[in-house]
Every structure is written in structure tokens, then in C-alpha cells.
Amino acid sequence: MKIIFSKNDLLNGVNIVSKAVPSKTTMTILECILIDASSDSIRFTANDMEMGIETTVAGTIVDKGIVALDAKLFSDVVRKLPDNEVTIETDEKYITTITCEKLKFNIIGRSGDDFSYLPDIEKNDYISLSQFLLKELIRKTIFSISDNDSNKIMTGELFEIKENVLRVASLDGHRISLRKVELDKVYEDKKIIIPGKTLNEISKILSGEADKLVKMYITDNHVLFEFDETIVVSRLIEGEYFNIDQMISPSYDTKIIINKKEFINCIDRSTLLVKEGDKKPIIVTISDGVLNLKINSVIGSMNEDIDITKEGKDIVIGFNPKFLMDALRAIDDEDVSIYYVNPKAPCFIKDDNDTFTYLVLPVNFNVVD
């Protein structure tokens, strides 16, 4: 095999597929990137058996062939190459020579025979949305997934399609993030749980351009994302997702409208007094026209008032500051509406058009705080 690339195209291809190389595996072949130049295009593939990525890389095929190269070594070598034309050649024993200007690396490759190719997904019906929209949906919900594998369903996100509406939801036991967007047409109803790891990596690859599309193909066990010159295939998480609608009550006793930036800055200032690992809550007191935020810790205290518009009862309630900050930062509106029921019930941040809802559970606090 002999193939020629520009350094930038080669590095971009390596960076894309490296996201699917497992950090630990008993199958050493999966620690490799497969370079397949056996047809009319050059394809790089990596697969950790839960998620696989394949991308077509621009380059010139002089002699066709296939080789599997250790992903970490190959990636490190490519990053260190000069910014010029790169030639990759393999011999019959898969010894691979990488040449750039006056530099030459010889590394040991492997046959691609044992490599686990991506599962074959039937490309019949698909759901289409812009790269910008998908990237934004992930960014505005992914922070609410759980990183604890004890409940696998919480490590993924619900993608639910009803007619022309896509609803994306995530939760971790302390909060819920919910986003709704309109699609370009009516689709068959679907409900799947996509691993958060897959969505995180897709978000990093997507260009985020509004005029570029992503096609989603869904089967019983897999989802395939196709965009630009790349496909990402992921196993779905099995099981029934939580009934989000039951968790979000339409009733409330207190509603406030607050400037989002002011509230974020206030909460951010309060965290200066919280040591890493300390679970000290912020105390929010809502009365007519004013939200008071207070925190007392072993290193100091802070007290700040913010002007608000209020409907309903006064309330005093405690929150984990990070959970509130994450939700507020995912909202683009200048002012936000927050709904409270009582000090033991979650608060809801949502808009009038029902395009987003963020639920945050309160935390207990001592009266002396």
C-alpha cells in the first residue's frame, strides 16, 4: 500500500476516529486505527464495540491496501510531522513507513483481517437535522447525564420523535434537562436512548454549521449518524426511559422572572467561598421584587440581592450552585422564568413556548445558615 496526504487532512482524519479507540481492551486489534485504501477512497476506522467511527480522508492512492496501526503511536507520530505532504507505505509484512520531508518513521503494523468493522446498518428511513441544531441539543442537555454506571439508562439521553417534534431529555437523579425542536417534516414515532459518550464525541466532531445536515438512521439496537465524510455507529442503551412528564408538574406557588446573566454572576461569586468537594448549598430567599442569595462557609459568607419580578408566595430554598449554573448557562434567553412549589420540591426553569425545561432538585440546609 502507498498513499499520500496533506498533513492537515491526515491529522484531521486521525483525530476524528481516535475518539472511538478504547482506552482499555483485551482485544489489542481494537487499539488500532484501520487504514483501508483497498477501493477508490481512503477510509480510517476505529471501533470500541460500543461506538465506531469511520471517516473518508482526502488523499491519493498510489498502491491499494489495508493496514492496522496502533492508534496512540500513529496519532503521536502524525502530530509531530512537519506541515507538508505525508506518504504512508506498507510492505508485505505490514511494516509501515511514514515519510514527510526529510523525516522517516518505520512502525510495525498489523493485518486488518481481525479488525472489527462497523455493524452493517440498513440505510432506509432517516431523520434529518442541521449540524448546528444537533450540536446545540447535545450541549444544552449532556451535562445532566449520570457518570455512574449503576443505572445505565441515566448515562444516556432520550431521543423521542413524535410527528415533527424531536424531544431530547437527560437526568442524573438531581436534575432533568429537556429540549424540544421542530424537524423538517413528520417522521415515524421513535424512542431511543443514546449513550452520553457517543453524543459527547459526536458533538466534538460536528462542525456546527447550520447549512450542513446530519442524517440519523435508527434500528432496534443501533443508531447511525452520517455527516460530512464521517459515520458514527453506536449501540443503543436497552430499557425503558423514565417518565419525564410525570416528573414535571404544571402547578407552582411562586414564579419569578430574573435576568439570567445577573443570576449566573451572583451564583458564580458565591462559589468562591466553597472549597472543592464541599457540598455547601446556596440559600435563595424570594420576596416581593427581590431574590436574596446567601452562602455561609468555613472560610466566609456572601449575601447579595437581585431585582426580580415575582408572582405568588415568598419562599426560602437551598440549591447546589453547580446544578443551577449548568441549567442557566444552557439557556440563551436574556431573562428566565423560574417556578417554585415548596422548599422540598424541585424548581423548574422553562420558557413560554415549551422549547426547554430544566428541573433542579433543592437540597436541605440548616436554619442557622
Average pLDDT over all residues of the chain:
95
- Cβ-count burial of 252 within 10 angstroms (0-12 exposed, 13-18 middle, 19+ buried)? middle
Would you say residue 368 has pLDDT above 50?
no
pLDDT of residue 367: 56
Q: 58-75 burial string, b = 16+ CB within 10 Å, else e?
A: ebebeeebbbbbbbeebb
Which residue ranges does the chain devote to CATH 3.10.150.10? 2-108, 127-245, 249-360
Q: DSSP string of 19-71?
A: TTS-SS-S-GGGGEEEEEESSSSEEEEEE-SSEEEEEEE--EEEE-EEEEEEH
**2-108 sits in which CATH class?**
alpha beta
Among the CATH numbers 3.10.150.10, 3.10.580.10, 3.40.50.300, 3.90.1150.10, which is that of 127-245? 3.10.150.10
Residue 170 contacts residue 138 (beta carbons within 8 Å): no
Could you read off the pLDDT of 291-326 as tens digits, one per residue? Answer: 999 999 888 999 999 999 999 999 999 999 999 999
In the numeric block, the cell 468493522 is attached to 117
**pLDDT tens-digit profile of 102-125?**
999 999 999 998 898 899 998 888
**CATH, domain 249-360, list 3.40.630.30, 1.10.3720.10, 3.60.10.10, 3.10.150.10:** 3.10.150.10
Output the pLDDT for position 114.
Answer: 87
Strand partners, 129: 214
Q: Give the Cα separation of 132 and 211 in Å (integer).
A: 8
